[in-house]
């Protein structure tokens, strides 16, 4: 990976030298901790661009919601408060149902299926972002989402009344359909929320739980593989229009490398972080057959609701995905 980065940077330096430009600093807000693999991938992307453009464009990452909170990052990029940033687009499903395509329960439950679903949805997402003054650079999936609980849970009935951390429409709806109480909590606030009892459960990847050391407050992780949401790195389209062709090529090359590296990391990180949860003292394993079947029934309800909200374009995405199977 380091060799690839060095090769790309060396090639880009040669190209950039032929077309010098005024140096720019791009602050890049990110919602997750610096140790998270998405943030690490973003930091390497930033370094690749900075080196590859010969310093014409210096990208500085700001993890942990330190520059803008997660929910504010997309708007900040759209309005030019930040030229570039990373965001979980399913967090904006309330703007447009299409943003939630990657959070349809039990539709794409593996990395291979997640990539097929992304290929089916990518043209629609790029078009939608373009209408919002945003240009997509790359996207990286999270590991499969599982359910975290403080106490043992063996059925949907056991979830009744539990305070549940939500981060998008899908997670809020999941809470409602299982009888849990949704509480909106950004990634940077997870540890404190669990430690203070603001929430006692969530659906998320092993990666998030490992990064936030949730074993200090929670005891169970059920591998239900509900979906694999994605983080997206976007640039303000007006800013992008002002970038030279040579530097655009550098950024695109760095983005391709970041997407490849991020996908690889997501797969490798899955087993590592689940073992990390076990080492922290959590019970990690599949959900009971009863709970799995009940969750899949809820998944059917949520899928139908999403299809209705997303209309013909959403149906086309799901149909294209299904035809690729």
Inter-CA distances, 184 with 43, 175, 202, Å: 27, 11, 10
Task: Determine, yes or no, domain membership for 184.
Answer: yes
Asked if residue 177 has pLDDT above 80, the reply is yes
Same domain, 164 and 311: yes
Strands 163-166 and 181-184: parallel
Task: Determine, yes or no, domain membership for 301.
Answer: yes
Task: Determine, yes or no, domain membership for 98.
Answer: no
- The rounded mean pLDDT for the chain is 93
Same domain, 233 and 111: yes
**Between these two residues, 47 and 3, which has the higher pLDDT value?**
47
Asked if residue 12 has pLDDT above 70, the reply is no
Same domain, 215 and 303: yes
pLDDT tens for 49-100 read 999 999 999 999 999 999 999 999 999 999 999 999 999 999 999 999 999 9
Q: Burial, 67: exposed, middle or buried (Cβ in 10 Å; 0-12, 13-18, 19+)? A: buried
Of 145, 277, 150, the C-alpha closest to 217 is 150
- Per-residue pLDDT averaged across 261-270, rounded? 95
Task: Determine, yes or no, domain membership for 100.
Answer: no
At residue 161, what are phi and psi to the nearest 5 degrees? 85, 0
Give the count of beta carbons closer than 10 Å to the beta carbon of residue 79: 10
- Enumerate the H helices of 55-205 as residue ranges: 70-78, 111-131, 169-178, 190-195
Same domain, 154 and 288: yes
End-to-end CA distance of the chain: 31
Give the confidence band of 6 by pLDDT, cuts at 50, 70, 90.
low
Residue 60 · residue 24 · CB < 8 Å = no
Choose the weakest-confidence range: 10-14, 170-174, 190-194. Answer: 10-14
- Per-residue pLDDT averaged across 236-258, rounded? 98
Give the confidence band of 19 by pLDDT, cuts at 50, 70, 90.
very low
Count up the domains in the chain and report the number: 2
Angle of helix 111-131 relative to helix 245-279, nearest 10 degrees, comes to: 140
Structure-token pair, residue 237: 């389209």
Same domain, 121 and 158: no
Tell me what pLDDT residue 16 has: 44
Task: Give the burial string for 147-158 (b: 16+ CB within 10 Å, else e).
Answer: bbbbeebeebeb
Give the count of beta carbons closer than 10 Å to the beta carbon of residue 281: 10
For the beta sheet containing 283-285, the strands, ordered from the edge strand earlier in sequence to the opposite edge, are 181-184, 163-166, 201-204, 146-149, 220-222, 283-285
Task: Determine, yes or no, domain membership for 101.
Answer: no
Structure-token pair, residue 42: 């973003």
Beta strands in the chain (DSSP E): 24-29, 57-62, 84-88, 134-141, 146-149, 163-166, 181-184, 201-204, 220-222, 230-236, 283-285
Same domain, 178 and 82: no
Give the confidence band of 11 by pLDDT, cuts at 50, 70, 90.
very low
Same domain, 132 and 9: yes
DSSP 150: S
Tell me what pLDDT residue 120 has: 97
Asked if residue 4 has pLDDT above 60, the reply is no
CATH number of the domain residue 22 falls in = 3.40.190.170
Tell me what pLDDT residue 2 has: 52
Domain boundary, last residue among 240, 255, 272: 272
Same domain, 128 and 182: no
Same domain, 121 and 159: no
Tell me what pLDDT residue 87 has: 97
Structural domain range at position 216: 146-226+273-323
Task: Determine, yes or no, domain membership for 185.
Answer: yes
Tell me what pLDDT residue 187 has: 85
Same domain, 165 and 255: no
Tell me what pLDDT residue 21 has: 52
Asked if residue 297 has pLDDT above 90, the reply is yes
Residue 111 · residue 64 · CB < 8 Å = no
- What CA–CA distance (Å, rounded) separates 187 from 169? 15
Same domain, 184 and 313: yes
- Per-residue pLDDT averaged across 218-235, rounded? 97
Residue 214 · residue 149 · CB < 8 Å = no
Give the confidence band of 15 by pLDDT, cuts at 50, 70, 90.
very low
Tell me what pLDDT residue 325 has: 85
- Per-residue pLDDT averaged across 272-299, rounded? 96
- Per-residue pLDDT averaged across 223-241, rounded? 97
- Per-residue pLDDT averaged across 235-242, rounded? 98
Task: Determine, yes or no, domain membership for 102.
Answer: no
pTM of the model: 0.88
Same domain, 51 and 168: no
């Amino acid at each position: 990976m380091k060799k690839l980065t060095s090769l790309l940077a060396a090639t880009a330096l040669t190209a950039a030298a032929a077309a010098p430009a005024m140096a720019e600093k791009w602050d890049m807000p990110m919602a997750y901790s610096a140790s998270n693999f998405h943030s690490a991938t973003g930091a390497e992307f930033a370094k690749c661009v900075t080196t590859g453009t010969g310093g014409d464009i210096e990208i500085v990452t700001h993890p942990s919601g330190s520059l803008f909170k997660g929910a504010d990052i997309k708007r900040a990029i759209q309005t030019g408060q930040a030229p570039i940033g990373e965001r979980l687009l399913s967090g904006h499903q309330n703007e447009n149902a299409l943003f939630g395509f990657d959070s349809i329960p039990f539709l794409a439950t593996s990395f291979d299926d997640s990539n097929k679903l992304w290929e089916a949805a990518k043209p629609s997402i790029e078009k939608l972002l373009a209408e919002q003054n945003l240009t997509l650079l790359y996207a990286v999936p999270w590991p499969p989402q599982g359910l975290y609980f403080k106490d043992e849970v063996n059925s949907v009935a056991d979830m009744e009344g539990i305070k549940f951390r939500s981060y998008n429409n899908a997670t809020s709806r999941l809470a409602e359909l299982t009888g849990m109480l949704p509480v909106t909590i950004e990634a940077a606030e997870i540890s404190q929320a669990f430690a203070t009892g603001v929430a006692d459960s969530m659906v998320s990847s092993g990666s998030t739980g490992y990064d936030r050391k949730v074993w200090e407050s929670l005891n169970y992780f059920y591998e239900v593989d509900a979906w694999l949401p994605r983080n997206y790195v976007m640039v303000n389209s007006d800013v992008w229009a002002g970038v030279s062709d040579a530097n655009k090529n550098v950024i695109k090359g760095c983005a391709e490398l970041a997407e490849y590296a991020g996908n690889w990391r997501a797969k490798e990180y899955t087993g590592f972080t689940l073992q990390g949860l076990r080492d922290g003292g959590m019970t990690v394993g599949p959900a009971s057959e009863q709970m799995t079947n009940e969750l899949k029934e809820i998944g059917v309800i949520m899928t139908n609701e999403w299809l209705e909200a997303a209309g013909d374009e959403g149906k086309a995405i799901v149909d294209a995905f299904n035809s690729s199977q």
